[in-house]
């Protein structure tokens, strides 16, 4: 375990795994959650070393009062890069972390040699995909009415509620609860202020012509990775794929929102190919 100090003095939890070459830096989902990439680091052993970190105010990082902005989180990610002495990063982001990784690449393209964009929601307005996501989530949870009832009754920072919701992200119904329980162990609690403010910022600022135009000039190779059964409509990512001049898209037909858990061999091969 290592401690990264940001330029405003906040302490971030970080860890580097053993492996060949410069590390692949991972950006976890949320916002308001923590790094759950231990299985990814294990999966990629022999391919690359991996840097994992908890975003500010979340998980094992110092609890602080923010600020909860993409600009601040981009600066924190740059502090992680500097701490580990990486000149140009290979960067992998998942879900909200994919959005953060893309924002970093747009702000500091000279510091990114490749971006792996996993299960993101594209660059269009949130309204274009969020209704479909909510409909798909309720349909999946509705397959188990007792779970749906418990999910509706629980508070937003409740561990059981999170596990039930995360179970809907796996296409393998038989193992979904087991896999969701693993995500919640250990449990650090959700930073609700962080989640609310960053999601509100995304609703205000994503989907603009300026963002689309910025993506058209991003001279960084990007691998877009999708699970075909992600609850978030995959069409949300189409505009990002069209905008990026150096994009390659890989889909996993038997996976949901967390493709490395359900198609580990294919995911490992895709990341290895991106790093090459």
Summarize pLDDT for 106-118 with one digit per residue, the tens: 999 999 999 999 9
CATH of the domain at 122: 3.40.50.1820
Q: What is the spatial order of strands in the sheet that 222-227 belongs to?
A: 2-5, 11-16, 50-53, 24-27, 89-94, 112-118, 222-227, 247-252
Query: Does residue 87 form part of some domain?
Result: yes
DSSP-assigned beta bridge partners for residue 13: 3
Query: Does residue 59 form part of some domain?
Result: yes
Query: Does residue 12 form part of some domain?
Result: yes
Query: Does residue 160 form part of some domain?
Result: no
pLDDT at position 31 is: 98
**How many domains does one find in the chain?**
1
Query: Does residue 181 form part of some domain?
Result: no
Query: Does residue 80 form part of some domain?
Result: yes
Query: Does residue 123 form part of some domain?
Result: yes
Cα distances (Å, whole numbers) of residue 167 to 178, 223, 227: 8, 26, 15
pLDDT at position 21 is: 85
pTM beyond 0.85: the answer is yes
Per-10-residue mean pLDDT for the chain, 276 residues long? Answer: 97 94 95 97 95 98 96 98 97 98 98 98 97 98 96 89 97 96 96 97 96 98 98 96 98 97 97 96
pLDDT tens-digit readout, 118-140: 999 999 999 999 999 999 999 99
Query: Does residue 194 form part of some domain?
Result: yes
pLDDT at position 19 is: 87
Q: Rounded distance, CA 114 to CA 121, Å?
A: 19
Round the CA-based radius of gyration of the chain to a whole number and report it. Answer: 18
pLDDT tens-digit readout, 156-200: 779 999 999 999 999 999 999 999 999 999 999 999 999 999 999
Give one DSSP letter per residue of 29-85, joined into a string: -SSS-----HHHHHHTTTT--EEEEPPTTSTTSPP------HHHHHHHHHHHHHHTT
pLDDT at position 8 is: 97
Question: How is residue 139 written in tokens?
Answer: 């349909």
Q: Rounded distance, CA 171 to CA 253, Å?
A: 10
């Amino acid at each position: 375990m290592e401690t990264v100090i940001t330029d405003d003095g906040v302490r971030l939890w970080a860890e580097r795994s053993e492996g060949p070459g410069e590390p692949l830096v991972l950006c976890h989902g949320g916002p308001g959650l923590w790094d759950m990439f231990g299985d990814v680091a294990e999966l990629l052993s022999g391919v690359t070393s991996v840097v994992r970190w908890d975003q500010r105010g979340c998980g094992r990082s110092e609890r602080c009062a923010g600020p909860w902005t993409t600009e601040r989180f981009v600066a924190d990610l740059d502090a992680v890069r500097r701490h580990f002495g990486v000149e140009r990063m290979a960067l992998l982001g998942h879900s909200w972390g994919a959005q953060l990784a893309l924002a970093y690449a747009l702000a500091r393209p000279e510091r990114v040699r490749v971006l792996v964009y996993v299960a993101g929601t594209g660059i269009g307005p949130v309204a274009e995909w969020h209704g479909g996501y909510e409909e798909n989530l309720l349909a999946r949870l509705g397959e188990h009415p007792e779970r749906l009832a418990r999910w509706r009754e629980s508070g937003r920072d409740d561990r059981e509620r999170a596990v039930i919701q995360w179970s809907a992200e796996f296409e393998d119904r038989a193992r979904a609860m087991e896999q969701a329980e693993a995500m919640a162990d250990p449990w650090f609690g959700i930073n609700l202020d962080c989640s609310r403010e960053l999601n509100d910022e995304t609703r205000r600022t994503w989907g603009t012509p300026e963002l689309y135009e910025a993506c058209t000039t991003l001279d960084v190779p990007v691998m877009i990775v999708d699970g075909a059964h992600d609850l978030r409509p995959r069409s949300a990512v189409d505009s990002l794929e069209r905008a990026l001049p150096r994009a390659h898209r890989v889909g996993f037909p038997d996976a949901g929102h967390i493709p490395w858990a359900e198609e580990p061999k294919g995911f490992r091969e895709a990341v290895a190919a991106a790093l090459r």
